[in-house]
Structure 1
């Protein structure tokens, strides 16, 4: 069963909130935990080749720097609207780098400091057949959802005090849904004070495991705005077949609408060195948001081989 792990608790600080739902954007990116890449596709990985990680494991830090830079650019580009960034396969070493990036932008480039909701898996990735050193200091893997809202401002900032505290996002409800049979997969749901729910999911490749996870998701049963996104590990048609089977006798069945991308979201190398392209990162939104979504979703493939997935982006117009 899905279990409520934690609530985001605001600091003791005055918060001014624009309660009307303005335009917002939901970005998703599987940033790639390098231990998985080493274990599964070590000799045919564009990412490993780009950063020469086989020659020097410390080069993974260069890749994490590029991930942080890319996320910073995406956040700043969309800093005028509420922004959700859903990350999968986040290595532990990336977390302090993201915190540092937020601190550097808060109340300067960004109106306030984003909040980062983190769920670390019980499974800790390990490099197969090797002892000793690792590519990471902290090799844990997490699902992470970053939430930024420029309309939430601390009282201190509003009154112009120089020693203002960092503003926080108020009363996000956080629900963690683990996969019952795969300790490295799950879904992290954030529900805001406006009633918007954003589900950040890493769905198992195995159909049975995927069904078990998806069966425990709190799918919408009314017109409340809802966005499901992540690394789905299958195309939209196959995903919708699973969702249909588990929601067919529920109100959710008629309340969900898929949104995909024109471009592939994942590119890799076959053993013979040729490229393959797949569409396995996509969205499922409530019908209440269907006509507000600027579709198709955008694939940010200009980032190159920082990860084996590209960031995807879906913007929603004012409600």
Structure 2
């Protein structure tokens, strides 16, 4: 089989992040649940923006963060997501393409504005997100280009985008095209609230092999199998006979493989500044290792290193070149 043009093609929400720090009482004043991600309308978005302190504006979105991290490792990435032809939409496209990421999805000429996510970071590094989804919810199967999908080794699907019916159809189309072209498909469960909404559909995607690789954190996994017992959730996951990766914050990461479970500790950091994007960047490192033909343990190590870099500063995109960072730590 000929080599693929892209290591990873991601489908996800195209969202501009506005990140600001605040004390705990800000959350209470504005009715925000610490550590959660809540969907808001445009009016609520304007009110929160007016109340926030100075913010850092940066292109985000879970799957796009993963692709940005992959590019920082030197991987070849592409992205499919929907923006509006407005100022934020143009900023978003520039930020991705400047990294060398392919992003050819046409912008919408009408309808909702480009999406934005307001991220409040409290002093303990925990992030609370309020998201206006806007244009990114209007992704359709027509936006999934067959040649682009066929050119990717792995197609990476963001669970957050499973809400709109047309986006679900786009995911299914991308998976079918990927498998037809000899590629693999990965799914990020994204958020335990997302899993609560679509538990049966997500397990269906795993069991009918629409996806070949699953990324989850501990909370998402327990939600998937409706248990408070982590070991019971892991046992259920192993029974699915699918490659899966489960992150456990400071308790490290586990990979479930046909040969058993592989465990790796976290990569040490002096201080957690902002947990935004930790899972996204972990996926970037793991996918880079996987598409480079590395052993699962090395993929876990690259993921842990990328996650450690991202939580050491504000924002969900790397502040350093991850290829160099990994090389300096003996991982590449």
Higher relative contact order (CA 8 A, sep 6+): 1
Indicate the structure with greater helix content.
2
Indicate the structure with greater strand content.
1
TM-score range, shorter chain: 0.3 to 0.5
Which TM-score applies when normalising by structure 1?
0.41
